Amino acid sequence: MVVARVFGKSSPEAIGRENDRLAALQQLDLLDTPRDEGFERIVRLIKQIFSIDIGIISLIDGHRQWYKACSGLSADEVSLEDTFCRCVVDCDEPIIVQDATRDARFARHPSVTGKDHIRFYAGVPLRTKAGHMIGTVCAIDRRPRSFGSRDLGILEELAAAAMDRIDLMQSAATDSLTEAMTRRAFKQEADQLISLALRHQHELSCIVFDIDHFKQVNDRYGHAAGDAVLKAVASVCKATLRAGDLFGRIGGEEFAVVLPHVDRQGALAVAEKLCAAIAFQPIHGDHGILHVTASLGSSALSIVSKDIETLLAQADAAMYQAKHGGRNRCVSWSSIHADHAIGARRRVLKAGFILFNDRRSTIDCTVKSIGAESAGISVSNTTGIPSEFILAIKGEGFETKCRVIAQDRQHLEVAFR
């Protein structure tokens, strides 16, 4: 049995607090959601108020710190092993480092000794009204500096404003950029359509897709070009789909569709139509003319897949197969499920370990969905992870052998052996 550890701790209290924290984060369903101008404004304010280089609003799951908004750094996320904010999680209170080179905890940190040249750090918990810490709000500088009680109070007020923004977003039904449904609204509507399909015994299918190499568009042409791509892709999809189909933006460049009264063969045909329409559409702007493609996966309602989480998990696995096969293509879950089981799933957010190399190698992960036969896992990078390994969930005594059935750079779909 693996000894559970939570950011370096293994006490029952620490494990319980971490489980509660992740449950609160799961309830909000904010990880990997699209950029939001309200949060971007807050991080710009952090930089202006304190005259510093970097402002961050982050969410922290089982293996990483993900930036909901960040000004001053190019990364979207960082492994929890590599962030100052793990100390805020450890002690559940603000941390101020006036000069990292003089702090034993951070003096040898790569962000201090390397090109980022971090010297000053102030991080405060991003806390729900129930008191659970779901992330951090940070002020960071490349020069040592002081940070008094008044400064700390201001940063905590900005964290409270960020939490107010999170609460407000819970009621949003439409993504402001693409006019697609938000992830939360999409899942709520999908649950209702699935209930109707089960009650009246009619077909229903699901498609998940994301834009191929989207990060390269942002890196090369800027976020304005990325936004233009997202809007154009959404517009093409809405013009291609029927009025009664659900269309949602469920991640930064990831979209999902629910197709009532459509079977698995029909869903693959719709996916292929969407794939061709996206590839055909030229995207005009200051960046010139861009063409993008998408990778799509489809799944269908069945005796096993009777909820949106399972349908999305199956379509995700098929989409990862499409990416692995070269992108700009469609794959149906029905074409790969004969060899791999994904039964009913429930959405979770749990900290876990991937163990391999006779248990000598350990990688932190976040379990995002799980069932009796399979799980969906996120990691910082799948490179080097073998096709078979042991998955353990921290603090629960759960451990099982797995085999990878689909993957991309940061996600694994696994079947239990």
Fold of 1-30+343-417: Thrombin, subunit H (2.40.10)
Q: What's the pLDDT band for 340 if we cut at 50, 70, 90?
A: low
Per the model's pLDDT, the better-predicted residue between 282 and 337 turns out to be 282
Largest CA distance in the chain: 68
The mean pLDDT of the chain is: 92
* Interval 214-233 mean pLDDT: 94
Q: Which of 49-58, 343-352, 397-406 reaches the highest mean pLDDT?
A: 49-58
341 pLDDT above the threshold of 50: yes
Q: How many CB atoms lie within 10 A of CB 191?
A: 14
What superfamily would CATH give domain 183-335? Reverse transcriptase/Diguanylate cyclase domain (3.30.70.270)
Integer Cα distance of 161 and 167 in angstroms: 10
* Interval 151-160 mean pLDDT: 98
* Interval 312-339 mean pLDDT: 87
The answer to whether 344 and 372 have CB atoms below 8 angstroms apart is: yes
DSSP 80: G
275 pLDDT above the threshold of 80: yes
305 pLDDT above the threshold of 90: no
pLDDT at 74: 86
* Interval 287-302 mean pLDDT: 94
The answer to whether 106 and 79 have CB atoms below 8 angstroms apart is: no
In this predicted model, what pLDDT tens digit does every residue of 90-127 receive, in sequence order? 899 999 999 999 999 999 999 999 999 999 999 999 99
339 pLDDT above the threshold of 60: no
3 pLDDT above the threshold of 80: no
In this predicted model, what pLDDT tens digit does every residue of 169-201 receive, in sequence order? 999 999 999 999 999 999 999 999 999 999 999
* Interval 217-234 mean pLDDT: 94
Three-state secondary structure string covering the chain: CCCCCECCECCHHHHHHHHHHHHHHHHHCCCCCCCCHHHHHHHHHHHHHHCCCEEEEEEECCCEEEEEEEECCCCCEEEHHHCCHHHHHHHCCCEEECCHHHCCCCCCCHHHHCCCCCCEEEEEEEECCCCCEEEEEEEEECCCCCCCHHHHHHHHHHHHHHHHHHHHHCCCCECCCCCCECHHHHHHHHHHHHHHHHHHCCCEEEEEEEECCHHHHHHHHCHHHHHHHHHHHHHHHHHHCCCCCEEEECCCCEEEEEEECCCHHHHHHHHHHHHHHHHHCCEEECCEEECCCEEEEEEECCCCCCCHHHHHHHHHHHHHHHHHCCCCCEEEHHHCCCCCCCCCEEEEEEEEEEEECCCCEEEEEEEEEEECCEEEEECCCCCCCCCEEEEEECCCCEEEEEEEEEECCCEEEEEEC
Q: What's the pLDDT band for 290 if we cut at 50, 70, 90?
A: very high
* Interval 387-410 mean pLDDT: 91
pLDDT at 154: 98
- Domain boundaries defined on the chain: 1-30+343-417, 33-169, 183-335
Q: Does domain 33-169 match CATH 1.10.1740.10? A: no
pLDDT at 16: 87
